[in-house]
């Protein structure tokens, strides 16, 4: 069955961002064994299942798992003995979706064994991936991080062979070269990301262990410098090889080459359209790594991912040199975090009593007593009494209670202040503004709006009347007949006119297309 997205396209490029909250929570359930009290025992059970899987025993009985655990215990002292609770742990893993539990009646050699459970267990696909992810985290080593500079020559050779195979329309060879390029590119991306994360971790922890940083600084700088030199040497050739491979397929361009790879691809669970979408996605990723397209770069060209990696590595070299200078100066001056902690420990040891030591440690580490606050919900009936405190909704806490530990009070009533002088000044100001507006309206009525330039006060009155008139427009038989708006001095009417009209002001010309402006004294009909 073809997996489709919401827009009807094949979901060949589906990623974790497309999963809804229910699917995410269902997959997080696969990691429940890591949060149990005996998570180490669950891990060894999964390792025993993985050992049986490695010898192509997909379905395993609890006795087989116990035998595999015994073999692991003989080689590793940390492996536990789970004779009585092994089936319970397997059932718990089946409940989490890590393994599938099946009933195998063929294992029952007698009626009594047939009446008992004859369950066999096998990894689910997502369960095995979750187990592999946990093992990858446990087996990660910082010293394994490196930038693969020797891979560029292999990529260049594969791109040349890909162009030759595409020109000869050799589908199997195109499939082999594209598959190898995809694998090598994925490994290089993973190594680059891991190296820069490890480098950031090293730079973050140098205050604690500067000796380790100084021990490997020369090798680290040499490694990054050699990688940048190799990348600078191969990047133009790789970009040209990508363009050559696209042009070698003929008039069809890269689509013809990808069509050859899809025809040679023998994955049975993907349709032809899904195979093409998958290979198109892979080639797009490879092209973005080495070939720059038109974009928002400084020269109108988008930066390729390899160029971005070079920029990040160059910035990392600068950061390592700056950190080296900082560590060297700290060791020369004798003041760093380690020496500060040693001096603080000496001060704490020499304090006269326990209270002074506690006060000194509290001041040094900014330790304060915890202040627990609480309050009642506005509608307590909406909250069930069986809901735990970390699942119940929060309540609002006043700032007074948070800062001083005292509940807020309304306080004593404050006297009413009239401020008569302020109110009188406001009345005089409002009366003056109204009088200025009436004078401007009177000038506008007497002199009209045509053939002269209106000042700011007259423009404000005109715009206010125009707003009232446009809001009062009426439509009769699909046409605007007229509109009027006014105040206690003047009334403005908008009369339809084919030529329109214009009013000149100090700030520009106000055009009224399709209307003529007429001013009349207030009260006239």
Give the tens place of pLDDT for each residue, 92-127: 899 889 998 887 656 555 555 544 557 888 899 999
Output the CA torsion 324→326→327→332 (10° steps): 120
User: Residues near 294 by Cβ (< 8 Å), separated by ≥ 6?
Assistant: 300, 301, 302
Q: Is the per-residue pLDDT at 346 higher than 80?
A: yes
Q: How large is the average pLDDT for residues 279-298?
A: 74
Confidence at residue 385, expressed as pLDDT on a 0 to 100 scale? 76
Averaged pLDDT for residues 250-275 = 84
Residue 392 is given by DSSP the state: S
pLDDT tens by residue, 472-483: 776 655 566 677
- DSSP SS3 for 162: helix
Helix (H, G, I), strand (E, B) or coil at 304: coil
Residues 114 and 165 in one domain: no
Higher pLDDT pick, 440 / 331: 440
154 and 207 both lie in a single domain: yes
Q: What percent of the chain has pLDDT over 70?
A: 82
- In sequence order, which residues have a C-beta less than 8 Å from that of residue 275 and are 6 or more positions away? 12, 262, 265, 267
For the four alpha carbons of 317, 320, 322 and 324, in that order, the dihedral sign comes to negative
Q: Are residues 300 and 252 in the same domain?
A: yes
Token duo for residue 239: 């970009």
Of the pLDDT bands very low, low, confident and very high (cuts 50, 70, 90), residue 212 is low
Is position 74 within any domain?
Answer: yes
In terms of pLDDT, which residue wins out, 89 or 269? 89
* Close Cβ partners of 237 (under 8 Å, ≥ 6 residues apart): 156
Same domain, 86 and 192: no
| DSSP classification of residue 7 | T
The H or E element spanning position 106 is: none
Structural domain that includes position 294: 144-319
Residue 47: burial class (beta carbons within 10 Å; 0-12, 13-18, 19+): middle
- What is the 8-class DSSP label of residue 302? P
Is the distance from CB of 167 to CB of 177 less than 8 angstroms? no
Kindly report which listed range (217-226, 251-260, 321-330, 508-517) carries the lowest average pLDDT score: 321-330
Of 75, 107, 138, the domain-final residue:
138
**What is the model's pLDDT at position 489?**
85
One domain for residues 117 and 71:
yes
Q: Given this model, what pLDDT does residue 130 score?
A: 92
Over the stretch 128-163, which tens digit does the pLDDT of each residue have? 999 998 988 888 766 666 777 778 888 888 888 888
Dihedral sign from CA coordinates of 471, 477, 479, 485: negative
Q: How far apart are the first and last CA of the chain?
A: 78
> Does residue 225 share a domain with residue 157?
yes
Judge whether 28 lies within some domain.
yes
Q: Compare 202 and 32 and report the one with higher pLDDT.
A: 32
The answer to whether residue 424 scores a pLDDT higher than 80 is yes
CB 232 within 8 A of CB 310: yes
State residue 2's pLDDT score: 40
**Rounded CA gap, 95 and 379, in Å?**
38
Average pLDDT score, the chain: 79
Q: Which residues pair with 490 in a beta bridge?
A: 521
pLDDT > 90: percent of the chain: 5
In DSSP terms, 118 is beta-bridged to none
What is the C-alpha separation between 405 and 16, in angstroms, rounded? 46
Do residue 187 and residue 288 come from a single domain? yes
pLDDT higher than 70, residue 235: yes
Among 101, 123, 138, where does a domain finish?
A: 138
Rounded to two decimals, the pTM is 0.47
Residue 343 lies in a domain: no
Let me know if residue 354 belongs to a domain. Answer: no
Give the pLDDT score at 372.
Answer: 66
CB 328 within 8 A of CB 341: no
Q: Is residue 160 part of a domain?
A: yes
131 and 96, same structural domain?
yes
Whether residues 112 and 188 fall in one domain: no
In a domain, 409, yes or no: no
Q: What is the pLDDT of residue 10?
A: 44
Residue 100's domain is classified under what CATH number?
Answer: 1.10.10.10
Residue 335 lies in a domain: no
pLDDT bucket at 301, cuts 50 / 70 / 90:
low
**Are residues 20 and 68 part of one domain?**
yes
| Confidence at residue 330, expressed as pLDDT on a 0 to 100 scale | 63
Closest CA to 149 of 231, 241, 238, 217: 231
Angle value at C-alpha 95, between 92 and 101, nearest 5 degrees = 90
Element (H, E) at 408: none
Q: Indicate whether 134 and 151 sit together in one domain.
A: no
For the residues of 313-380, what is the DSSP string, one character each?
HHHHHHHHHHHHHHHHHHHHHT-SHHHHHHHHHHHHHT-SSHHHHHHHHHHHHT-----------SSG
Q: Which of 319, 348, 363 is the last residue of a domain?
A: 319
Q: Are residues 304 and 195 in the same domain?
A: yes
Report the number of distinct structural domains present in the chain.
3
Least confident window among 44-53, 58-67, 289-298: 289-298
Q: How confident is residue 427, by pLDDT bands cut at 50, 70 and 90?
A: very high
Residue 275 lies inside a defined structural domain of this protein: yes
């Amino acid at each position: 069955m073809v997996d489709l997205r919401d827009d009807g396209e094949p979901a060949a490029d589906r990623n974790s961002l497309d999963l809804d909250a229910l699917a995410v929570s269902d997959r997080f359930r696969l990691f429940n064994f890591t949060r149990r009290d005996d998570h180490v025992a669950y891990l060894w059970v999964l390792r025993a299942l993985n050992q049986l899987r490695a010898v192509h025993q997909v379905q395993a009985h609890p006795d087989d798992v116990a035998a595999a655990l015994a073999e692991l215990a003989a080689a590793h002292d940390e492996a536990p003995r789970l004779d009585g609770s092994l089936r319970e742990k397997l059932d718990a893993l089946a409940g989490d979706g890590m393994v599938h539990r099946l009933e195998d009646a063929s294992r029952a050699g007698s009626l009594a064994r047939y009446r008992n459970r004859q369950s066999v267990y096998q990894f689910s696909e997502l369960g095995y991936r979750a187990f592999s992810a946990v093992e990858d985290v446990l087996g990660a080593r910082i010293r394994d991080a490196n930038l693969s500079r020797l891979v560029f020559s292999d990529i260049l050779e594969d791109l040349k062979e890909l162009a030759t195979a595409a020109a000869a329309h050799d589908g199997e060879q195109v499939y082999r070269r594209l598959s190898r390029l995809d694998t090598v590119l994925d490994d290089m991306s993973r190594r680059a990301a891991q190296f820069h994360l490890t480098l950031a971790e090293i730079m973050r922890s140098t205050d604690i262990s500067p000796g380790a940083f100084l021990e490997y600084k020369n090798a680290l700088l040499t490694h990054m410098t050699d990688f940048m030199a190799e990348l600078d040497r191969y990047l133009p050739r790789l970009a040209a090889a990508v363009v050559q491979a696209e042009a070698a397929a003929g008039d069809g361009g890269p689509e013809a080459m990808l069509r050859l790879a899809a025809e040679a691809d023998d994955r049975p669970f993907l349709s032809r359209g899904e195979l093409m979408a998958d290979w198109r996605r892979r080639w797009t990723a490879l092209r973005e790594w080495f070939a720059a397209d038109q974009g928002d770069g400084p020269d109108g060209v988008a930066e390729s991912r390899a160029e971005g990696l070079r920029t990040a590595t160059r910035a990392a070299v600068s950061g390592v040199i700056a950190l080296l200078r900082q560590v060297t100066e700290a060791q020369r001056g004798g003041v760093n975090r380690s020496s500060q902690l040693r001096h603080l420990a000496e001060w704490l040891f020499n304090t006269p009593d326990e209270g002074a030591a506690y006060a000194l440690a509290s001041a040094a580490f900014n330790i304060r007593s915890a202040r627990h606050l609480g309050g009642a919900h506005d509608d307590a009936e909406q909250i069930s009494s069986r809901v735990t405190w970390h699942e119940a909704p929060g309540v609002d806490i006043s700032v007074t209670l948070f800062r001083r530990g005292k509940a807020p009070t309304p306080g004593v009533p404050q006297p009413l202040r009239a401020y008569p002088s302020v109110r009188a000044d406001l009345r005089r100001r409002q009366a003056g503004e109204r009088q200025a507006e009436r004078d401007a309206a009177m000038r506008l009525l007497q002199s009209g709006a045509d053939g002269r330039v209106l000042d700011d006060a007259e423009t404000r009155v005109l715009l206010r009347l125009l707003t009232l008139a446009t809001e009062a427009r009426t439509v009769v038989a699909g046409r605007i007949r007229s509109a009027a708006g006014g105040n206690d001095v003047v009334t403005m009417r908008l009369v339809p006119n084919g030529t329109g009209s214009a009013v000149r002001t100090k700030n520009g010309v106000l055009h009224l297309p399709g209307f003529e402006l007429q001013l009349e004294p207030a009260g006239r009909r």
